[in-house]
Amino acid sequence: MSIPQAKMELRPLGNTGLKVSSVGFGASPLGSVFGPVAEVDAVATVREAFRQGINFFDTSPYYGGTLSEKMLGKGLKALQVPRSDYIVATKCGRYEEGFDFSAERVTKSIDESLERLQLDYVDILHCHDIEFGSLDQIVSETIPALQKLKREGKTRFIGITGLPLDIFTYVLDRVPPGTVDVILSYCHYGVNDSTLVDLIPYLKGKGVGVISASPLAMGLLTEQGGPEWHPASPELKSACKAAAAHCKSKGKKITKLALQYSLANKEISSVLVGMSSVSQVEENVAAVRELEDLGMDQETLSEVEAILEPVKNQTWPSGVDQK
């Protein structure tokens, strides 16, 4: 059975040969991380995303204590399309019970993930939030274990994820070229913080694909603002709040502007956005189509950038409670 798919821009991912949709499906909300999501809604959301041309789905055993992987697995299975029609990334090393980047744990981890996802292989297996482990262990033990899993056909490519940008150069400078295929960075390519851009020439030079997540800065760039636990400074929170209020006063949505800003940089292969309802999929896809057809709302963007200028590129320490 085939599902008629709308066209969405596909971008090459480093040297992998994969072509990923410019918007990727962040499946952490399917783990009821931000509120309960019924299985029927999870399946419908995955289907709608696929129907709208999204072919890249990202999850982790950490999200919702394995629930995200199970829900995504059910959604993908229900598509009843060839496995080669979609690209799946999951992660290892971070779990509800804590961090474990040992070769033994990550080797077991992929088998557990594949079972939950109901898949024979994943396209990308990331080491999840590596700044919480020993980076030397990642280099000398975890990545070699992932290379073995790659040879065994359980994953096609290897990635690393985390918040501080210097973790990527630390690892990539210490492994043979072509060992790490992809990096996943979050909260560093958005209208309030675009520091990832400084790393792109280095990553391109290494042939590493770039995925960026959290274009809304973990909720700061929304009308309701970030969650209580958000680690940003009070200044950054209030500037983002002011920017959101400004957009609202003009009848605009800061979420759309922020997503479009992140999507406009084609050096970034895919921007991951968390989705847990058909309406969220529709809203995100509408933002993509509008950007393709009409371009950015430069006037509002300039006004928002002016509001955020005093806190531009301000980050926060990596906290264990982050989603």
Catalytic residue IDs: 63
Side chain identity at residue 291, one-letter code: L
For 182, which DSSP code? E
Let me know: does 267 contact 204? Beta carbons within 8 Å. yes
Q: Give bridge partners of residue 161 from the DSSP assignment.
A: 184
Side chain identity at residue 169, one-letter code: T
For 323, which DSSP code? -
User: Taking Cα atoms as reference points, which of 212, 302, 246 lies closest to residue 11?
Assistant: 212
Side chain identity at residue 146, one-letter code: L
Let me know: does 24 contact 273? Beta carbons within 8 Å. yes
Alpha carbons within 13 A on the beta-carbon side of 280:
21
State the Cα–Cα distance between residues 30 and 207, nearest whole angstrom: 32
* 315 token code pair: 């980050």
User: Taking Cα atoms as reference points, which of 25, 24, 111 lies closest to residue 61?
Assistant: 111
State the Cα–Cα distance between residues 206 and 65, nearest whole angstrom: 34
Let me know: does 154 contact 122? Beta carbons within 8 Å. yes
* 54 token code pair: 């999204």
